Structure 1
Amino acid sequence: MTVASIAIARAFITLEKAISQIVQVLGFIRLGLMPTRRKGVESSPRSGIGR
């Protein structure tokens, strides 16, 4: 492997980690923004997920 390919691989790995972190943060923000909706609907979506 050349130094360039190693650097590119490292960049891709860090990018993937950053993207996954952003996705997690967005998910947490969504959960934080709709806690009332979540609580009101919590019983019904579980049966939907069970299907």
Structure 2
Amino acid sequence: MTVKAILATILTDELTRRGMSSLTRSDCEEIVERLTELELTLAAREISNKREP
């Protein structure tokens, strides 16, 4: 799954979960925070996988 597809899925899920058709500024900030955490987790996993024989 591509990064764009993952982001689209996350945003769609967030909208559905919140019962909304648009996002407020605070909603966007929360989603960006979650995506940043996800990005860092994936980067750490990638680095860890490269170090393992």
Cα distance in 2 for partners of 1:6, 1:32 equals: 39
Higher helix fraction (1 or 2): 1
Structure number with bigger Rg: 1
Q: Residue in 2 aligned with 1:19? A: 39
Partner of 2:20: none
Q: TM-score w.r.t. structure 2 length?
A: 0.55
Separation (CA, whole Å) in 2 of partners of 1:25 and 1:16: 14
Within 5 A, what are the aligned runs for 1:1-51?
Answer: 4-33=24-53
TM superposition shift of 1:30 = 0.2
Q: Which contiguous aligned blocks of 4+ residues in structure 1 show a shift greater than 6 angstroms?
A: none
How large is the RMSD of aligned CA atoms in angstroms? 1.3
Aligned length in residues: 31
Q: TM-score, normalised by structure 1?
A: 0.57
